[in-house]
Amino acid sequence: MDDYTDLDWNWEFYEELVDDVDENKNIIQCISCGKCVGDCPAAKVSNFNSRKIIIKVLRGDKSVLKDSDIWYCYLCERCKRVCPKENINIPLLIINLRNESFKNGYGPKYNDLRKYVEMSERFLTQGTVVEDPLGDKLPQERVDEIYEICNFARIKYVFKASKSDQSKKNKKKTK
């Protein structure tokens, strides 16, 4: 990791997250290699940087709960697959941080949520967020989980609206 002294670390926040989700204890193994960020589709289209999020958590910086970054993650688990360390589950950490954000009265700002919805829609309908495909097709179990998350966030209603808007546009084009 970067050059930090023992005084830079505050384990209280990290311990709270580990108490909440035991698997979060593995983020301490992060070696800050950057593979997670380099392969991340959200990082290609936003300021999302999982390394910075992990460092903030380990330093006890709760401002991460107010940051827009935690809302840009697609939970696609690409970071988990490319990480050279075993059992670092960044998507699980992100979900935990989002929950803590809501518990503390923050949550996403409207503009952040709108961008997240647009990126999620592209991901779910086209399988890509950027021009480059994400690689292997997601297993059906993961797709179902993403749909469940979107349903919880009421994103499917946005999809319905955008589909009806799209069909209206298509009808106008054919006239």
Q: What is the DSSP string of 91-108?
A: HHHHHHHHHHHHHTT---
On whether the CB atoms of residues 79 and 97 are closer than 8 A, the answer is no
* Bigger pLDDT: 136 vs 126: 126
Least confident span in 13-27, 53-67, 101-115, 138-152: 138-152
Mean pLDDT of 63-68: 89
pTM tops 0.75: no
- Per-residue model confidence (pLDDT) at position 159: 44
By CB atoms closer than 10 A (0-12, 13-18, 19+), residue 87 is exposed
d(CA 100, CA 105): 9
Domain ranges of the chain: 6-174
- Per-residue model confidence (pLDDT) at position 51: 93
Question: Which range in 75-84, 99-108, 149-158, 160-169 is most confidently predicted, on average pLDDT?
Answer: 75-84
pLDDT higher than threshold 70 for residue 45: yes
Question: Which range in 7-16, 82-91, 117-126 is most confidently predicted, on average pLDDT?
Answer: 82-91
